[in-house]
């Protein structure tokens, strides 16, 4: 493993604290958490959790930055220029950030590089929106005295201080989904990364200040759930945006209600993939393999339930197995690897237990299902066969490289099976029949529907779930609107 000099220099710090007001806090006697490299299980750094006083310090810093020069008075064109500079800085330091992500969560280095490229595109997309936030004029019927008229209009204003809580599976990409539109709208942000992946967020914040982002506009508090709770419960937060599990999202939702804080949630998924007999089976198998085994299945939109028309089941399984056989399982820095480690030992144990439990509930193992006897947190790409949705592999978000395959015999049955879940984040459909495709588009209960391709994000393509997969949308123009509030004005003259 050969690291960039900047990566080595950053890692020599070994002990890390929160980044507030443009600098790192001094160490105190707070709880510390060790960081393990998923590729070999070794501890390579540790950090100190922010306590409630330090969270308060971060929120107050962001509040000051929101209300005072230079951020409060900066023009939209100046914000646009700053966001382009932030994107340029990410591009310049792409390899360093990718290496930090690979060390923190075991993501294959090529996939980590792709993640940073996605973040760069997101910042550049929202840079263009800085100068395009507008209101509208309104013709209203409010009666005035003779000779008086109404001039009514709306304007969009930044919502204020944003608490952005991001998961470990895409620490920079998902942070960019929140940071870029929030900053473009004129907000300030307190970012709380996962306790598994704090270093990439710290490096990004340090980088942004170096290239000119005013101090306090972005603060990073690092820690566990207690740190996150102190942030979401803080009365100085004007909006909470969270990506993570449905269970934690519900807790955050309750905290938001206590202060009536604006809220966006992108939560869990158990996304279906429907494969009809008329589909290109090879393309479907390739796309489904990419959808479930990319990032070792640790993807919120992963297509983890494959509903395959019964007449092509054997052909599809053989084609899927052929795709999986091409995947070398190795460490994050192996350029030939197709499947890397899971993010932690605890998560490996969870995924492994689900594979066992599903078989106890009647699932048949098609391939994979074994942990690797080596240092690090590795498990084989796995596929399980069941005949209905009554199995934990079909109902629960395993968040690992585990695909469950279920047969169907009609379009009606496929759609009903796909919708039989509490989640509704994403879905894919594989067919060459446009009528079947559009029926699925109309009836699938999911925020995303991809036809003949795996689910992938784009800055201009909104994401957000139905049912218990979340509240609100990210990305696209709606992604910046969520960081604004509308003021209605009527001038009587």
Q: Which residues are known to be catalytic? A: 266, 300
Q: Enter the tokens of residue 351.
A: 């995924």
Residue 21's closest CA among 78, 68, 59, 74? 59
Residue 489 main-chain phi, psi, to 5 deg: -125, 135
DSSP string spanning 51-75?
Answer: -HHHHHHHHHHHHHHHHSTTTTT--
Diameter over CA atoms, the chain = 86
Residue 79 main-chain phi, psi, to 5 deg: -60, -40
Contact indicator for 184, 159 with CB cutoff of 8 Å: no
244 conformational bin, left if phi > 0, alpha if psi -120 to 50, beta if neither: left
Q: How far apart (Å, rounded) are the C-alpha atoms in residues 112 and 110?
A: 5
Contact indicator for 452, 283 with CB cutoff of 8 Å: yes
- How would you class 287 by CB atoms within 10 Å of its CB: exposed for 0-12, middle for 13-18, buried for 19 or more? buried
Residue 408 main-chain phi, psi, to 5 deg: -140, 165
Q: Enter the tokens of residue 369.
A: 């299902």
Element (H, E) at 392: helix 392-395
Contact indicator for 189, 179 with CB cutoff of 8 Å: yes
Contact indicator for 180, 122 with CB cutoff of 8 Å: yes
Residue 159's closest CA among 131, 190, 182, 125? 182
Virtual torsion, Cα 65, 67, 71, 73, nearest 10 deg: -160
Residue 276 main-chain phi, psi, to 5 deg: -85, 160
């Amino acid at each position: 493993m050969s690291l960039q000099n900047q990566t080595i220099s950053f890692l020599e710090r070994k002990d890390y604290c929160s980044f507030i007001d443009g600098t790192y806090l001094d160490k105190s006697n707070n709880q510390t958490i060790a960081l393990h490299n998923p590729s070999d299980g070794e501890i390579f750094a540790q950090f100190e959790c922010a306590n409630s006083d330090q969270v308060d310090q971060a929120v107050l810093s962001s509040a000051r930055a929101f209300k005072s020069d230079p951020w409060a008075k900066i023009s939209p064109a100046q914000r646009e220029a700053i966001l382009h500079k932030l994107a340029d800085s990410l591009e310049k330091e792409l390899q360093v950030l990718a290496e930090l992500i690979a060390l923190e969560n075991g993501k294959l280095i090529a996939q980590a590089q792709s993640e940073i490229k996605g973040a760069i595109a997101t910042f550049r997309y929202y840079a263009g929106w800085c100068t395009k936030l507008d209101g509208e004029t309104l013709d209203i019927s409010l009666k005035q005295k003779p000779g008086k008229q109404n001039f009514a209009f709306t304007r969009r204003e930044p919502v204020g201080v944003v608490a952005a809580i991001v998961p470990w599976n895409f620490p920079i990409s998902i942070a960019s989904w929140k940071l870029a539109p929030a900053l473009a709208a004129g907000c300030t942000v307190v970012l709380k990364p996962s306790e598994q992946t704090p270093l990439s967020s710290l490096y990004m914040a340090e980088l942004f200040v170096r290239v000119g982002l005013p101090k306090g506009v972005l603060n990073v508090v690092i820690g566990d759930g207690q740190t996150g709770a102190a942030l979401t419960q803080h009365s100085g937060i004007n909006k909470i945006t969270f990506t993570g599990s449905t269970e934690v999202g519900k807790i955050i939702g309750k905290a938001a209600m206590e202060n009536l804080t604006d809220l966006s949630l992108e939560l869990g998924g158990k996304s279906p993939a429907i494969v009809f007999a008329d589909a290109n089976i090879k393309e479907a198998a390739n796309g489904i393999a990419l959808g479930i085994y990319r990032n070792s299945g640790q993807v919120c939109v992963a297509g983890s339930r494959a509903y395959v028309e019964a007449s092509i089941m054997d052909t599809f399984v053989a084609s899927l197995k052929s795709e999986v056989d091409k995947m070398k399982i190795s460490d994050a820095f192996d350029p030939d690897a197709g499947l890397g480690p899971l993010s932690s030992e605890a998560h490996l144990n969870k995924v492994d237990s689900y594979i066992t439990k599903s078989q106890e509930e009647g699932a048949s193992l098609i391939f994979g299902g074994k942990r690797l006897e080596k240092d690090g947190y590795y498990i084989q790409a796995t596929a399980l066969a069941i005949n209905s949705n009554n199995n934990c592999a079909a109902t629960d978000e395993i968040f690992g490289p585990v695909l469950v395959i279920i047969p169907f015999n009609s379009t009606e049955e496929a759609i009903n099976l796909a919708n039989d879940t509490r989640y509704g984040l994403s879905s894919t459909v594989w067919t060459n029949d446009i009528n079947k495709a559009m029926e699925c588009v109309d009836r699938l209960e999911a925020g995303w529907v991809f036809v003949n391709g795996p689910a992938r994000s784009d800055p201009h393509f909104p994401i957000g779930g139905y049912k218990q997969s979340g509240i609100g949308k990210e990305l696209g123009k709606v992604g910046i609107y969520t960081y604004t509030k509308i003021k209605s004005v009527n001038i009587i003259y």
